Structure 1
Amino acid sequence: MSQITTLTFFKYPTLKSKVWAFMMMPIARYPLSKTKGLSFYKLMGSGKPGFNPAPDWSTYGLLQIWETEQYANQFFNEATLFQKYKRNSQEQYTIYMKSIVAKGEWSGANPFEKSTSLDETIPFIAVITRATIKFKLLRTFWKYVPTSQAPLKNNDGLLFTMGIGEVPLTQMATFSIWKNKEALMDFAYKSKEHAKAIVKTRKLQWYNEELFSRFQPYKTVGQWGGKDVLSTH
């Protein structure tokens, strides 16, 4: 399939730009819905570092699924909406990705189509995990998050991570980029804390809806924190 996914992060350092970014959450929906070649999108805020539920008003994300890369390039290079985002943000960082596998649903469907044009020379793996947390289990879930996320600290195989979400506390997602498949597998299957989190998920059934997806990040545009994550490894 020629479908690709892009995830763009925006940094807003000033109070004026933070207010602008917040106001754009509902305003941007209409022009995005009319964007040619765009089959799915999500406007998202972010949490503070460490998958903290407290909002980080300086960082926002835009997830988009495109019919082809050409449509994506046209949007980023020419769309009036994106030019507004560039003018009002200090940094923009876009990761282009091809879907490897996706299990579950997002807003009632699985929007990711497995790519048939993966590049075997690219070792990096990107992961999106997304869930709608049951309201009655919110306190239990967030209380356990610091324990489940502990193995990510000082993890040499983890290149980038960000907590994002459509709705604070209840509709959350994590995005991460790993050096290679082995680094991801070590975290997923050799981490005791992560293994316990999986057991708790199955036992308590925290989620009304969940999705786990893996991607091959093959191109980036812009910088985050003054650098390009992929080009430095």
Structure 2
Amino acid sequence: MNEQTAVLGLIDIAPNARGWGFSRYILGKLPFKHIPGLQFCKVLGSGLNGGFSTTPSLTKQGFFCVFDSAQNAARFEESSSILKAYQDHAKEFFLATVQPYSSRGSWSGFSLLCSDPNPPKLGPIASLTRASIRPSKAMQFWAKAKPAEDAINLASGKILTAGVGEAPYFRQATFTIWDNAQSLDQYAQQGAHLSAIKAAYGQAYFSESMFTRFRVIKAQGIWQGKHVQIP
């Protein structure tokens, strides 16, 4: 049975550690090399104030790692010198451990596996939406993205939201945590977000995309001034 498990970190680098924070982009995935069970890794930047923005943040960043098992993900969280280094240089630090139950598309050719497609009946879920935006469609995409972000900030049932990406403007992602699947569906299937999704597919905004929903195994820390503790 597939136990593919992802670990997502969100970090706001402390004012006296900005040089160290910038070095994370230069080193990229190199510090994560040879971690047992690691199948996929992305070192990410974030938008201004940690949101989904065309203006990159100078301090907020993150990473997304996928492991072949829950055990290897847990070992990474419990003993990784990488996590300790991030924590030591952070003003805010947040970590989520999640398992996919629904996913379509790919990220740099990598697709997530789902052994159980049913959402949890109770408890929080997470969502990751990422895309490589075609340069010729970027202006149309960002015109739709801002109203969708405004809507998510007002959505009920939202626990956390973060805008991350591999490169400003063209390679973007959104990570969110919700009280339950119903809260996410209510946001996703109406209003500005629904309009943005219809436009994205109808007008081929993306050269590659991935849309994934996860069970939240645990999530804890601070992001955008908000404390999160699950379970």
TM value normalised by structure 1? 0.89
Alignment of 1:159-170 (within 5 A): 159-170=159-170
- The residue aligned with 1:156 is 156
Kindly provide the amino acid, as one letter, of the partner of residue 214 in structure 2. F
Q: Which moved more, 1:64-73 or 1:117-126?
A: 117-126
1:179 aligns with 2:179: yes
Alignment of 1:204-219 (within 5 A): 204-219=203-218
- The residue aligned with 1:74 is 75
Question: Residues 98 and 118 of structure 1 are in contact (CA less than 8 Å); yes or no, is this contact kept in structure 2?
Answer: no
Q: Which moved more, 1:73-82 or 1:197-206?
A: 73-82
Question: Residues 95 and 219 of structure 1 are in contact (CA less than 8 Å); yes or no, is this contact kept in structure 2?
Answer: yes
Kindly provide the amino acid, as one letter, of the partner of residue 153 in structure 2. K
- The residue aligned with 1:134 is 134
Residues 90-126 of structure 1, C-alpha deviation per residue, up to 9 Å, x if partnerless? 232111111111100110231x111449894642111
Once superposed, what is the RMSD of the aligned Cα atoms? 2.1
1:199 aligns with 2:208: no
Kindly state the Cα deviation for residue 35 of structure 1 after the two structures are TM-superposed.
1.0
Alignment of 1:12-161 (within 5 A): 12-14=13-15, 16-49=16-49, 50-110=51-111, 112-116=112-116, 120=120, 122-161=122-161
Distance in structure 1 (CA, Å) of the matches to 2:133 and 2:116? 33
- Aligned-partner SS, 1:223: strand
Residues 184-207 of structure 1, C-alpha deviation per residue, up to 9 Å, x if partnerless? 111121x22222212211232111
Consecutive aligned runs of 4 or more in structure 1 exceeding 3 Å deviation: 115-122, 221-224
Kindly provide the amino acid, as one letter, of the partner of residue 37 in structure 2. G
TM value normalised by structure 2? 0.90
The aligned length equals: 228
Kindly provide the amino acid, as one letter, of the partner of residue 32 in structure 2. L
Distance in structure 1 (CA, Å) of the matches to 2:118 and 2:96? 15
Cα gap change, 1:119 to 1:186, in 2 (>3 Å): closer
- Aligned-partner SS, 2:156: coil
Residues 22-67 of structure 1, C-alpha deviation per residue, up to 9 Å, x if partnerless? 2112325223121111111110010024522111122111101112
Could you tell me the percent identity over the aligned residues? 26
Cα gap change, 1:153 to 1:222, in 2 (>3 Å): closer
Distance in structure 2 (CA, Å) of the matches to 1:153 and 1:83? 31
Cα gap change, 1:145 to 1:229, in 2 (>3 Å): farther
